[in-house]
């Protein structure tokens, strides 16, 4: 293998979308992926980028992504939020995830961020064990809240 890690570019987005869908299928939620290539292009490469990503490549083929944005904690300040982190199925358990995760950690250092956060499904034991190798805290006390665009548009102000 000849794995390299680099910053993602607009031309990578078709392969990025495939990996996003592969992760969603693994998480038993493929039907929930509604993002389009056009939205990814506009949101990541328009006047105000809303996200960034790193790619892991083997011989110029994208085999993994670290997809992130910067969030702000009123208690702690700037954090990197790791939205998606995936290595394609054929290339797992080869150390590529560690290279990509450590490159993401390096972004936190380079940008002088106060930390990195992410979510992991409670049944995803391989991912939990991976994160624990980095001495990560995996919380079981916080519950996720969410409103969809559809729900938001149905709410009337009082």
26, 51, 131, 134: which one is catalytic? 131
Check if the beta carbon of residue 33 is closer than 8 Å to that of residue 52. Answer: no
Domain boundaries, given as residue ranges, for the chain:
3-154
φ, ψ of residue 118 to 5 degrees: the values are -165, 175
Structure tokens that stand for 111 in this block: 């940008």
Three-class SS state of 37: helix
Annotation says 26 is catalytic? no
The residues with which 61 forms a beta bridge, in sequence order, are: 58
**Mean of the pLDDT values across residues 32-49?**
97
The pTM for the full model equals 0.93
Ramachandran area for residue 51 (φ above 0: left; ψ -120 to 50: alpha; else beta): beta
Q: What is the mean pLDDT of the chain?
A: 96
Q: What is the pLDDT of residues 128-139, one digit of tens each?
A: 999 999 999 999
CATH architecture for the domain at 3-154 = 3-Layer(aba) Sandwich (3.40)
pLDDT at 28 over 90: yes
**What are the contacts of 131-135 at 24+ separation with CB within 8 A?**
133/98, 134/101, 134/105
Q: What percent of the chain has pLDDT over 90?
A: 94
Q: What is the pLDDT of residues 69-90, one digit of tens each?
A: 999 999 999 999 999 999 999 9
- If residue 85 lies in a helix (H) or strand (E), which one and from where to where? strand 77-87
Q: What angle do CA 58, 24, 121 make, to 5 degrees?
A: 105
């Amino acid at each position: 293998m000849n794995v390299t890690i680099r910053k993602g570019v607009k031309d990578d987005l078709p392969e990025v979308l495939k990996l996003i869908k592969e992760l969603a299928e693994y998480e038993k939620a493929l039907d929930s992926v509604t993002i389009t290539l056009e939205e990814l292009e506009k949101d990541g490469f328009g006047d105000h980028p809303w996200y960034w990503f790193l790619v892991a490549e083997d011989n110029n083929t994208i085999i993994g992504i670290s997809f992130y944005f910067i969030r702000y904690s009123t208690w702690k300040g700037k954090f990197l939020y790791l939205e998606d982190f995936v290595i394609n199925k054929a290339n797992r358990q080869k150390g590529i995830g560690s290279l990509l995760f450590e490159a993401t950690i390096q972004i936190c250092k380079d940008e002088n961020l106060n930390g990195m956060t992410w979510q992991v499904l409670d049944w995803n034991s391989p991912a939990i064990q991976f994160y624990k190798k980095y001495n990560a805290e995996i919380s079981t006390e916080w519950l996720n809240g969410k409103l969809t665009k559809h729900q938001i548009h149905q709410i009337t102000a009082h």
